[in-house]
Amino acid sequence: MLQFDSQLAEIRFGYGLSPNISGPSSPTALLDGLRGADEIAARFPIEPFSVFRQRMVAVQEQYMIRRKNRGTEEAGEARKQRNLLNKDARIAMFESLGQTMLRRTHTQTAFRERLVAFWADHFTAHGKRGVARRATSPYIEDAIRPNLTGNFAQLLQAAVMHPLMLDYLDQIRSLGPNSIRAGKMGPSKSPGLNENLAREVLELHTLGVNGPYSQEDVTQLAELFTGMSFQPQNGFKFRKDFVEPGAETVLGKTYPDVENIEPIRAVLADLAAHPATMRHLAEKLAVHFISDNPDADLVDRIAAALVASGGELMAAYEALVTHPAAWTPTLMNYKPPIDFMSSALRSMGVPEAAFKDLEEKDYRQMFASHLSIMGQRWELPNGPDGWSEDDENWITPQGLTARVRWSMGVPARLMGNALPDPRDFVEIALGRHGNDAVRFAASAAESKSEAIGLVLMSPPFQRR
Amino acid sequence: MTSELSRRAFLTRTGLIGCSLAASPLITPVSFAQTPWDNRLVVIILRGGMDGLDAVQPYGDPALRGLRGTLSGGPENGALDLDGYFAMHPALAPLMPMWQAQQLAFVHAVSTPYRDKRSHFDGQDLLEAGTADLADGVRDGWLNRMLQSVPGVHAQTAYAIGRSDMRLLQGDAEVANWSPGSNLRLSPQAVRLMEVITESDPAMFAALTEARLLSEASLEAPERGVPGHVQLAEFAAQQLSKEARIAAFSLNGWDTHRNQINTLPRALTTLAETLVALRDKMRGNTWRKTAVIAMTEFGRTARQNGTQGTDHGTGGVMVLAGGAIRGGRVYGDWPGLGDGTLYENRDLMPTGDVRAHTAWIMQGLTGLNRATIEGSIFPGVDMGDNPGLLL
């Protein structure tokens, strides 16, 4: 008998309770939300990568002008232009932070936003230098968001073959040692393979570190991946002159010696369909949504659903939200910093107007600098394995101190006079998970902002 | 500072603070104890897999040039000769005075027992777990196991510093977690209310209590404009000059798959500045009693890859610093880089165990007996003969 609870659905599978939006009425409704139109993305748009690319083109143009006119006034002007373009992109990055917060605050389908964040973390990618460093949200719009509800193979292909991933994991300059380009460059430049993407595809994205692959598979996959590259003007580009000639064998299957992306798509589809991949994904979903030590049967069911459906993500989500373990009333997982902030904003119903006219320094003072001390810098992951799921990693003296400081200062700044009455706020933010200790604290605090801060710092708000 | 903590311990023992605080696992009824040893140990985890062959270049090995077209260029390309065979990467130049003062050493061609998968995450887990494998998962770190085997250790003895996860110090023994500038500033009323609401959540309660204690303990605010790693090192040096005996933190940026000639110097400079800051900020003769061990999860490929970088490997380098170190030497059993000497024809062959060298340093600093070290701190390690890393 499922202990389904509408509030728990919002807390555990969404971004917490909202003063204006009620949660789904059943697990079916929770899933149905994913099949509906993506209204919130239209309401709070974020620049897709196809548009972001133009920024890279513009920067490259200025670079070419500088190169051709070194030492002249034109070069100086080009440098200024480039700096303006970089600044623009940086501001856009902060604005996407705002849009992300607004989406999570106002969406009727918070489960979708959680899944976007989950898969974006699973497929962590970050630009290496220049404006590319600001391309994360655009990448998520293009590669992750449209592929949440189809087959995992589709999502895998979209993410792994995306220009930002190719940049992040060094695929762009990986050349087959016997490729045409390597031949032209000559041995003194030592051109050749870079294994980074191949390794992380096997270790992080699909089979998992304990999966049945060897160093030889990594190398073969790296050879198979050669050719994948990117140009700002055109996006993804397959470079035949980068391709390592010859067939490659990965996990015992041989992929033909052709100079196009078909073998790459094929190997990714095969990796997606591997039972070890499905187990790996099931574990990640259970850990992320339920608990650091998830119920073994829950993991088994999700894995089985993926196997039975041939990798359909909706089947996995259904297995997740229809399992009794998903509805354990005790709140477990500790919210990581960005999710904590998102749920705080949602609990107050922070209006769109609060983000209008925000400047870069406002984003830094209200969000970015705090996230930094909390240990989760905005769009600056520690590595391709994304953010830690381990509660212990976040429940540290410095992490909690930073949350206290944020909780007692920033809501007042965002809401001004509209900061809710703390006694009402306990009920709105915590619902059935409120307790007497929090109610007491909310009414005994010396100021409204301190009281709000205490509610936000309470264990039932910090966990999900 | 000492008196503040003693006062709190006294208050706790006599029950004058609310019983909720007294129940906190971090405030034991034992009063402020002396540690059984006076030496200091600093452990720095270099995350990402530092390229030992570029940090400490074996330019005397004739096979090096054939493996690396543009990297590890030796003294001809600015590397600083150490002993006629090895040369230090130019970015480590700030450490030359320490080398000349014999307070800096390297151990080459060492690794943990980790083989073959070459995953950062598993490699670091194993490095910090100090076990032979990860079959039992990472329950606690070796540094914490060391603390567990010593009576009288309490939360101010060991610090895990910085914002990243330090598995090394996770475990049953109490450790303080801190980063500079993290002071908790709450009114007494707010403190009381925070206690009330977090009492039901032991993990949160403990972390907040610790935050308050550490805020009280750390009086010096960080300077503006000082880089993060220098702040960390200065904070560590401050605490080690007082009651702390152990500090651990990590430095990232070592995963140089691409364009290593530009990316590695940044990380090496960070390491150099960190070691210099530690030495410079220690008071009195603390540095003379200190051993710093910088270790990494694995080295990198002997050959450079197709993007002027290196990929994950096996054998690598440990960096040792401090007045307690017998410096001015490159230790280790050099296996060579020629035909047939590489591990899997790919990586520098490891001829020594990171744990064994660490164990000998630990033994020398703390006087812990070898059986304890080989039995519970680094289970399964074969310490072998004393390599003589300490004075």
The predicted pLDDT at position A406 comes to 93
A-B contacts at Cβ under 8 angstroms: 154
Residue A15 in 3-state DSSP? coil
Chain A closest CA to B185's CA: distance in Å? 8
- The Cβ of residue B371 has, within 10 Å, a number of other Cβ atoms equal to 8
pLDDT > 60? residue A32: yes
HSE-CB for B16 with a 13 A CA cutoff: 6
Neighboring chain B residues of A445 at a CB cutoff of 8 Å = 189-190, 193
Please tell me the least confidently modeled range out of A32-36, A326-330, A374-378, B189-193: B189-193
**Residue A253: beta bridge partners?**
A250
Neighboring chain A residues of B27 at a CB cutoff of 8 Å = none
The predicted pLDDT at position B9 comes to 42
**Residue A238: beta bridge partners?**
A228
Per-residue pLDDT band for A333 (boundaries 50, 70, 90) equals very high
How far apart CA A188 and CA A415 sit, in angstroms, is 61
Per DSSP, the residues of A24-85 read PSSHHHHHHHHHS--HHHHHS----HHHHHHHHHHHHHHHHHHHHTTTSHHHHHHHHHHHHH
A334-358 average pLDDT score? 97
Neighboring chain B residues of A397 at a CB cutoff of 8 Å = 176-178, 182, 184, 207-208, 210-211, 214
ipTM associated with this complex: 0.90
What one-character DSSP code corresponds to residue A254?
E
How far apart CA A60 and CA A82 sit, in angstroms, is 9
Structural tokens at position A238: 């397959």
- The Cβ of residue B32 has, within 10 Å, a number of other Cβ atoms equal to 16
Among chain B residues, CA nearest to A172: B307
Quick one: CA dihedral A199, A202, A206, A211, positive or negative? negative
Q: Pairing relation of β-strands B329-331 and B176-178?
A: unpaired
**Residue B177: beta bridge partners?**
B160
Contact A458 B208 (CB under 8 A): no
What distances in angstroms separate CA B154 from CA B151, B168, B227, one per listed residue?
9, 16, 30
Structural tokens at position B36: 């059984």
What distances in angstroms separate CA B74 from CA A279, B53, B60, B262, B372, one per listed residue?
48, 10, 9, 16, 42
Please tell me which of the candidates A193, A385, A397 has its beta carbon nearest to residue B211. A397
Neighboring chain A residues of B183 at a CB cutoff of 8 Å = 401
Chain B closest CA to A148's CA: distance in Å? 27
Q: Give me the amino acid identity at B220.
A: E
**Per-residue pLDDT tens digits for A119-128:** 999 999 999 8
Spatial contact of A166 and A158, defined as CB atoms under 8 Å apart:
no
Neighboring chain B residues of A446 at a CB cutoff of 8 Å = 187, 189-190
Contact B118 A437 (CB under 8 A): no
Per DSSP, the residues of B130-164 read -SS-STT---S-HHHHHHHTSTT--TTTEEEESSS
Residue spans of alpha helices (H) in A274-396: 275-289, 296-309, 313-321, 337-348, 360-363, 369-374, 391-394
pLDDT > 70? residue A356: yes
The predicted pLDDT at position B31 comes to 21
| Helix H or strand E segment including B178 | strand B176-178
Q: In a structure prediction context, what are the per-residue pLDDT tens digits for chain B, which is 391 residues long?
A: 333 334 344 333 333 222 222 222 222 221 222 467 889 999 998 988 999 999 999 999 999 999 998 999 999 999 999 999 999 999 999 999 999 999 999 999 999 988 887 877 777 777 777 777 777 665 678 877 877 777 766 655 666 665 455 667 666 665 655 655 555 567 777 888 898 999 999 999 988 887 877 666 554 455 566 777 888 888 889 888 888 888 888 888 888 888 899 989 999 999 999 999 999 999 889 999 999 999 999 999 999 998 899 999 999 999 999 999 999 999 999 999 999 999 999 999 999 999 999 999 999 998 888 998 998 889 889 999 999 999 9
Q: Give me the amino acid identity at A313.
A: L
Structural tokens at position B197: 């609401």
Q: Give me the amino acid identity at B81.
A: D
Chain B closest CA to A96's CA: distance in Å? 25
Neighboring chain A residues of B304 at a CB cutoff of 8 Å = 190
Chain B closest CA to A435's CA: distance in Å? 9
Q: Which residue, among A214, A395, A450, would best test binding to B if mutated, counting the most B CBs under 10 Å from its CB?
A: A395
Quick one: CA dihedral B176, B179, B181, B182, positive or negative? negative
HSE-CB for A245 with a 13 A CA cutoff: 7
The predicted pLDDT at position B184 comes to 57
Residue A203 in 3-state DSSP? helix
Closest CA to B110 of B390, B391, B387: B387
**CA triple A442-A446-A448, angle to 5 deg:** 60
Contact A401 B306 (CB under 8 A): no
The predicted pLDDT at position B34 comes to 40
- CA dihedral A127→A133→A135→A136, nearest 10 degrees, is 70
Contact B197 A383 (CB under 8 A): no
The predicted pLDDT at position A222 comes to 97
